[in-house]
Amino acid sequence: MRSRGQKAAFWLAAGLAGFFSLAPFLWFVITSLKSQGSVTAIPPTLLPEGSLHFYWSAFAGYGLLGFVLNSLLVAGLTTALTISIATLAAYALARLRLRGTGLVLGLLLAVGMFPQTSLAGPVWRILQALGWLNTYQGLVLPYVTLTLPLGVWILTTFFKELPRELEGAALIDGCNRWQALWRVILPLSAPGVFTAAILVFIYAWNEFFFALLIMSDRARQTLPVGIALFQGQYTMPWGEIAAASTVATLPLVAMVLLFQKRIVSGLSAGAIKG
């Protein structure tokens, strides 16, 4: 049993860690609700004023809605394609008796560790040859390539945990491999599929480097790049940047809080074998 002192120390450490993690986001939220004069006030004010001026300015003056829609489109397409391909690859690696599955998983892990800067030149040349610079498919293609290792690893772990007898029973009852996958394996692997989809979506939503490299057309830029390129006439528009950052972050925070149990169960699958 833990003593009261240990419990108090645990909750104090957890509270400090949570505050340290949330403090930048909370400061952006507070800043986004201030007036123009309060943003630059010295000393800074710690309480919001409830003003929505910066949100209106970000949407009306800086085209924030267009960036949001671009990010939704790119992140949604990336998630759909990655999960579709990763599902088939993970099923083959986990359920079919193939040689070298460990080597394939190791290579996928190695590919996922490549720094983005080392891929920038080849990716840019390939997309230029295809005529895909400043296109949505030109941004989705690198995202799918970079997120596939994560999706395959998570889904392979889930598929391996499922008893083979369930799939064998479906095959005996007349199902083929495709039907066994869609009717038996995927429904039972829903937490893993959901976890992989959430993580892929978050990556595509937040990615900055390739979005800046590939999308030079302002009308097609995603949220991270669009916010980074906010410019004022004489000073940086910190209020609009804070409002846009709040809009970009709140959906992810809400998504993680709403589905945290599924995400944890998905990430911890296969960690303990009984």
Tens digits of residue pLDDT in 235-249:
788 899 999 999 999
Residue 132 structure tokens: 């895909």
| Coil, strand or helix at 174 | coil
For the chain, give the percent of residues with pLDDT over 70.
94
Confidence of residue 4 (pLDDT cuts 50, 70, 90): confident
Mean pLDDT, residues 77-82 taken together: 96
Domain ranges in the chain are 1-51, 62-268
For the segment 195-223, the average pLDDT, to the nearest whole number, is 93
Q: Which of 201, 214, 179, 193 is nearest to 254 (CA)?
A: 201
Mean pLDDT of the region 158-183: 81
For 36-63, how does the pLDDT look when each residue is reduced to its tens digit (9 = 90+)? 888 878 787 777 887 899 999 999 989 9
pTM: 0.87
Options 1.10.3720.10, 3.20.20.140, 2.60.40.150, 3.50.50.60; CATH for 62-268 is 1.10.3720.10
Please work out, in degrees rounded to the nearest 5, the angle formed at the alpha carbon of residue 171 by the alpha carbons of 149 and 101. Answer: 25
Question: What number is the average pLDDT over the span 155-179?
Answer: 81
* Contact in structure between 124 and 132 (CB atoms under 8 Å): no
Inform me whether the pLDDT recorded for 97 exceeds 80: no
The C-alpha angle 86, 206, 122, rounded to 5 degrees, equals 65
Least confident of 104-118, 190-204, 205-219, 256-270: 256-270
Angstrom distance (rounded) from CA 159 to CA 181: 10
Q: CA-CA distances (angstroms) from residue 12 to 17, 24, 249?
A: 9, 19, 26
